[in-house]
Homo-oligomer: A and B are copies of this chain.
Amino acid sequence: MLVTEQVPTAAESRGPVCCPTGLTAPLDRETAEDLARLLKAVADPARLQLLALLKASAAGEACVCDLTGPLGLSQPTVSHHLKVLTEAGLLTREKRGTWAWFSIVPGRLDEIAAVLR
């Protein structure tokens, strides 16, 4: 367990002073931004639907033409979301012939979920 500095409550501290402030952020801004970028990739309804569709598909993969319909979004928009998910390491793209097949990277979602612990 991580023992940080004792933070005297305002009730304990003398006078009207609230913050004796030895309090230092255990999570620096840069790291926080990296984590936020990762979470932002998932924090979108369309992308959540895409992940659900891929997870529910029999082979664990699907091409763009199968995903535009259920989402009710245009093809460029779906392509955009798939790119975001891929760049976040959540999906892999494999081009077979004319079609681009996307599949979920196993364990990656759990990695992101683990951040929130």
**Scoring A residues 49 to 79 as 1 if CB is less than 8 Å from chain B, else 0, what string do you get?**
1001100111100110111111111110000
Is there a chain B Cβ closer than 8 Å to A36's Cβ? yes
Determine which of B6, B19, B40 lies in contact with A43 in the assembled complex, contact meaning CB atoms within 8 Å: B40
Q: How many copies does the complex hold?
A: 2
| Known A56-B2, A70-B24; contact A65-B113, beta-carbon cutoff 8 A | no
Is there a chain B Cβ closer than 8 Å to A45's Cβ? yes
Q: Is the CB of B69 within 8 A of A45?
A: no
Q: Is the CB of B7 within 8 A of A69?
A: yes
A73's nearest neighbour on chain B, judged by CB, is B3
A25's nearest neighbour on chain B, judged by CB, is B70
Please give the distance in Å from A97's CB to the nearest CB on chain B: 8
Spell out A's residues near B (CB within 8 Å): 2-4, 6-11, 18-19, 21, 23-27, 29, 32-33, 35-36, 39-40, 42-46, 48-49, 52-53, 56-59, 62-63, 65-75, 96-97, 99, 109-110, 112-114, 116-117
